[in-house]
Amino acid sequence: MVSNIPKSPYNMLQEIYHPDVWKTLICCMFLNQTTRKQVDKIRDEFFERYPTPLKASQANQESMALLLKILGFQNRRSQNIITMSRQFLDGNWQKPSDLKGIGQYAEYSYEIFINHNLNVVPDDHILNKYMVWRLDYEKNKNV
Protein backbone atom coordinates (compact mmCIF):
# COMPACT_ATOMS: atom_id res chain seq x y z
CA MET A 1 0.00 0.00 0.00
CA VAL A 2 1.25 3.47 -0.85
CA SER A 3 1.98 5.43 2.32
CA ASN A 4 2.31 8.84 0.70
CA ILE A 5 0.00 10.65 -1.62
CA PRO A 6 0.73 13.96 -3.28
CA LYS A 7 -0.70 17.03 -1.61
CA SER A 8 -3.21 18.76 -3.83
CA PRO A 9 -4.17 22.42 -3.80
CA TYR A 10 -7.49 21.34 -2.26
CA ASN A 11 -6.07 20.33 1.16
CA MET A 12 -8.71 17.65 1.52
CA LEU A 13 -9.27 15.97 4.86
CA GLN A 14 -8.60 12.63 3.18
CA GLU A 15 -5.11 13.88 2.34
CA ILE A 16 -4.52 15.18 5.85
CA TYR A 17 -5.50 11.93 7.58
CA HIS A 18 -4.08 9.51 5.02
CA PRO A 19 -3.18 6.68 5.49
CA ASP A 20 -5.37 6.30 8.62
CA VAL A 21 -8.43 4.49 7.23
CA TRP A 22 -10.62 5.03 10.29
CA LYS A 23 -9.92 8.78 10.51
CA THR A 24 -10.46 9.14 6.77
CA LEU A 25 -13.86 7.48 7.08
CA ILE A 26 -14.76 9.58 10.13
CA CYS A 27 -13.96 12.75 8.17
CA CYS A 28 -16.24 11.59 5.37
CA MET A 29 -18.99 11.03 7.93
CA PHE A 30 -18.40 14.52 9.28
CA LEU A 31 -18.73 16.04 5.81
CA ASN A 32 -22.12 14.43 5.17
CA GLN A 33 -24.71 17.22 4.89
CA THR A 34 -22.45 19.96 6.24
CA THR A 35 -19.49 22.09 5.18
CA ARG A 36 -15.75 21.73 5.59
CA LYS A 37 -15.80 25.02 7.50
CA GLN A 38 -18.08 23.48 10.13
CA VAL A 39 -16.05 20.27 10.28
CA ASP A 40 -12.80 22.18 10.80
CA LYS A 41 -14.28 23.73 13.95
CA ILE A 42 -14.52 20.36 15.74
CA ARG A 43 -12.26 17.82 14.06
CA ASP A 44 -9.11 18.48 16.11
CA GLU A 45 -11.03 18.26 19.38
CA PHE A 46 -12.85 15.16 18.18
CA PHE A 47 -9.59 13.37 17.39
CA GLU A 48 -8.07 14.53 20.69
CA ARG A 49 -10.99 12.99 22.58
CA TYR A 50 -11.33 9.96 20.31
CA PRO A 51 -7.93 9.31 18.71
CA THR A 52 -8.68 5.68 17.86
CA PRO A 53 -11.64 3.54 16.85
CA LEU A 54 -11.43 1.85 20.26
CA LYS A 55 -11.85 5.17 22.10
CA ALA A 56 -14.72 6.17 19.81
CA SER A 57 -16.41 2.78 20.18
CA GLN A 58 -16.40 3.24 23.97
CA ALA A 59 -17.57 6.87 23.90
CA ASN A 60 -20.51 8.27 25.77
CA GLN A 61 -23.01 8.99 23.00
CA GLU A 62 -24.46 12.11 24.63
CA SER A 63 -21.02 13.62 25.19
CA MET A 64 -20.00 12.93 21.60
CA ALA A 65 -23.30 14.38 20.36
CA LEU A 66 -22.61 17.64 22.19
CA LEU A 67 -19.27 17.97 20.42
CA LEU A 68 -20.86 17.19 17.04
CA LYS A 69 -23.80 19.58 17.51
CA ILE A 70 -22.31 22.20 15.16
CA LEU A 71 -22.49 19.66 12.30
CA GLY A 72 -26.18 18.96 12.77
CA PHE A 73 -27.82 15.56 13.15
CA GLN A 74 -25.56 15.12 16.19
CA ASN A 75 -27.52 12.26 17.78
CA ARG A 76 -27.57 10.21 14.60
CA ARG A 77 -23.95 11.11 13.79
CA SER A 78 -22.67 10.14 17.23
CA GLN A 79 -24.62 6.85 17.20
CA ASN A 80 -23.31 6.06 13.72
CA ILE A 81 -19.72 6.90 14.65
CA ILE A 82 -19.82 4.70 17.75
CA THR A 83 -21.40 1.81 15.85
CA MET A 84 -19.10 2.24 12.84
CA SER A 85 -16.06 2.26 15.12
CA ARG A 86 -17.16 -1.01 16.73
CA GLN A 87 -17.75 -2.57 13.32
CA PHE A 88 -14.41 -1.24 12.06
CA LEU A 89 -12.63 -2.91 14.97
CA ASP A 90 -14.52 -6.18 14.44
CA GLY A 91 -12.99 -6.35 10.97
CA ASN A 92 -16.03 -8.09 9.51
CA TRP A 93 -16.37 -5.70 6.60
CA GLN A 94 -15.28 -5.95 3.00
CA LYS A 95 -15.92 -2.40 1.84
CA PRO A 96 -16.60 0.83 3.72
CA SER A 97 -20.32 0.82 2.94
CA ASP A 98 -20.59 -2.35 5.05
CA LEU A 99 -20.05 -0.02 8.00
CA LYS A 100 -22.86 1.98 9.66
CA GLY A 101 -23.17 5.54 8.40
CA ILE A 102 -20.78 5.17 5.47
CA GLY A 103 -22.13 6.38 2.15
CA GLN A 104 -21.04 6.84 -1.44
CA TYR A 105 -18.73 9.80 -0.76
CA ALA A 106 -16.74 7.71 1.72
CA GLU A 107 -16.69 4.77 -0.71
CA TYR A 108 -15.16 6.97 -3.41
CA SER A 109 -12.75 8.52 -0.94
CA TYR A 110 -11.64 5.07 0.25
CA GLU A 111 -11.03 3.93 -3.32
CA ILE A 112 -9.07 7.08 -4.21
CA PHE A 113 -7.11 7.78 -1.03
CA ILE A 114 -6.72 4.34 0.56
CA ASN A 115 -6.77 1.93 -2.39
CA HIS A 116 -5.13 4.49 -4.70
CA ASN A 117 -7.65 3.58 -7.39
CA LEU A 118 -7.57 6.41 -9.90
CA ASN A 119 -10.07 4.71 -12.20
CA VAL A 120 -13.16 5.77 -10.27
CA VAL A 121 -15.52 8.48 -11.42
CA PRO A 122 -16.98 10.08 -8.30
CA ASP A 123 -20.31 11.87 -8.33
CA ASP A 124 -19.00 14.53 -5.93
CA HIS A 125 -17.82 17.95 -7.15
CA ILE A 126 -14.65 18.26 -5.04
CA LEU A 127 -13.66 14.62 -5.53
CA ASN A 128 -14.00 15.15 -9.28
CA LYS A 129 -11.80 18.26 -9.09
CA TYR A 130 -9.27 16.28 -7.07
CA MET A 131 -9.31 13.44 -9.60
CA VAL A 132 -8.65 15.83 -12.51
CA TRP A 133 -5.74 17.32 -10.57
CA ARG A 134 -4.42 13.92 -9.46
CA LEU A 135 -4.54 12.34 -12.91
CA ASP A 136 -2.71 15.36 -14.32
CA TYR A 137 -0.16 15.13 -11.49
CA GLU A 138 0.45 11.42 -12.14
CA LYS A 139 0.79 12.00 -15.88
CA ASN A 140 3.28 14.85 -15.43
CA LYS A 141 5.42 13.23 -12.74
CA ASN A 142 6.34 10.47 -15.16
CA VAL A 143 7.35 12.86 -17.95
Active site residues: 124
Give the torsion through C-alpha atoms of 68, 6, 110, 121, to 10 deg. Answer: 110
Q: What is the residue-wise DSSP string for 58-114? A: T--HHHHHHHHGGGS-HHHHHHHHHHHHHHHHHT--SSGGGSTT--HHHHHHIIIII
How many CA atoms are closer than 13 Å to the CA of 59, on its beta-carbon side?
31
Task: List b or e across 24-42, with b for residues whose CB sees 16 or more CB atoms inside 10 angstroms.
Answer: bbbbbbbbbeeebeebeeb
d(CA 51, CA 22): 10
